[in-house]
Structure 1
Amino acid sequence: MCSPSPWWPVAEGGCPRVGGCNETRMLEKLPRCGKAFADMMRTVEVWKWCNLSEFIVYYQSFTNCTEVETNVVGCYWPNPLAQGFITGVHRQFFSNCTVDRTHWEDPPDAVLIPLIAVPVLLTVAMAGLVVWRSKRTGQLL
């Protein structure tokens, strides 16, 4: 039994219908969420669009809206069509946001060779010490 969520309008059913997902109706309703989000984003300066803390409340409202509209027409959220719509909104507002990725490169040979050689030499030394000690222990008894 589905219990209504505070995000689902009870007047429109409150829960996804048993009859199935009305994808056409969902695609008609989702642009309302996109328009509301666009209107809210106009209050944020464009250069702040990549800073989530500047518009997180608007984005949460957008997400809640897409979930409500999807559930009202009997569809589950997320679904491929809703995700496609959300991706389109992301492209519209966040296409210029890039993640600064660290460019990794190998350290110079003067650093790399000791980092490899020291553990190898320690491993050989420890193995030799264990073998030597095991032979010596047999002689003491």
Structure 2
Amino acid sequence: MICFLLLSLLVVDVTETQNTQGTFEGNQTFNLLNTTVEPTNATFTLKKDGWEEIEEELKNNKTSDIITEEDESFQDPEHPRLFLECNQKALVEGSHLYCGVPFQDEMSSLGPENWCLLPNVISPYYRMGQCLEILSTYYSCFYPNPDVQDFFLYIHSLYFHNCSREEVHLEDAPEGLVAALTLIPISLIPVPLYLMIWKLSVTSSTTNLHS
């Protein structure tokens, strides 16, 4: 019981630390993304072996270790990432440097005239999303997370803000056609009434003859 209480307090402390760091660094996301970051001038160091590991995961499409917000397995005391703290700063910078820059290069090669054509952008967009998933896992962050969502919004504001869904404009039917379609059913109403009255009169006459 005591071990369980200590574990709960530790989890709460880690959560509060992440929230505090997120409040401080969350406002820096767009400032970073709006700047040009060169690999040699990065403000954090990603070990060579670490980046090679990420590249290998991207090539092999390894996403089985990604922690999603819906995944409740992280509550397991034996979960390997329970006591790891999300490195938000590295995630924000790495998202731009290792996921955003390749995507921007591909979009530049496509040209603005192709940015709103889904078949042309779906592959680069998918690779960028997969890169962000793996990067989030590498830095012990859940996926999706607010920093990744801000990054997606930034990318959309750059490349897809002028893309609008084509709306089909339906024209009103001609007034004459509308009037005809309205009057025809009304004009047919007397016909069944006449047939019903005629049938009743015939039935009545037949009954009188037999009587």
SS, match of residue 55 in structure 1: helix
Q: Which residue of 1 aligns with 2:96?
A: 31
Rounded Cα–Cα distance in structure 2 between residues aligned with 1:61 and 1:90 = 15
The percent of aligned pairs where both chains have the same amino acid is 25
Q: Which residue of 2 aligns with 1:7?
A: 62
Rounded Cα–Cα distance in structure 2 between residues aligned with 1:114 and 1:86 = 53
Q: Which residue of 2 aligns with 1:76?
A: 143
CA contact (8 A) 2:66 2:143 kept: no
One-letter code aligned to 1:75: F
SS, match of residue 74 in structure 1: coil
CA contact (8 A) 1:37 1:58 kept: yes
Q: Deviations over 1:97-134 (max 9, x none)?
A: 23221223422211223344456667x679969xx49x
One-letter code aligned to 2:94: K
Rounded Cα–Cα distance in structure 1 between residues aligned with 2:94 and 2:142 = 12
**CA offset at residue 29 of structure 1?**
2.6
* Residue 115 to residue 15, structure 1, CA distance change in 2 (3 Å): same
One-letter code aligned to 2:82: V
Q: Which residue of 2 aligns with 1:46?
A: 112
Q: Which residue of 1 aligns with 2:175?
A: 109
One-letter code aligned to 1:114: A
Segments of 5+ residues of structure 1 without an aligned counterpart are none
SS, match of residue 42 in structure 1: helix
Q: Deviations over 1:22-67 (max 9, x none)?
A: 2724323321311120012121122122212223221111111122
The one of 41, 63, 70 aligned to 2:129: 63
State the number of aligned residues: 127
Segments of 5+ residues of structure 2 without an aligned counterpart are 1-56, 68-80, 204-211
Rounded Cα–Cα distance in structure 2 between residues aligned with 1:120 and 1:70 = 68
SS, match of residue 43 in structure 1: helix
Rounded Cα–Cα distance in structure 2 between residues aligned with 1:119 and 1:71 = 67
TM-score normalised according to structure 1 size: 0.64
TM-score normalised according to structure 2 size: 0.46
CA contact (8 A) 1:40 1:58 kept: yes
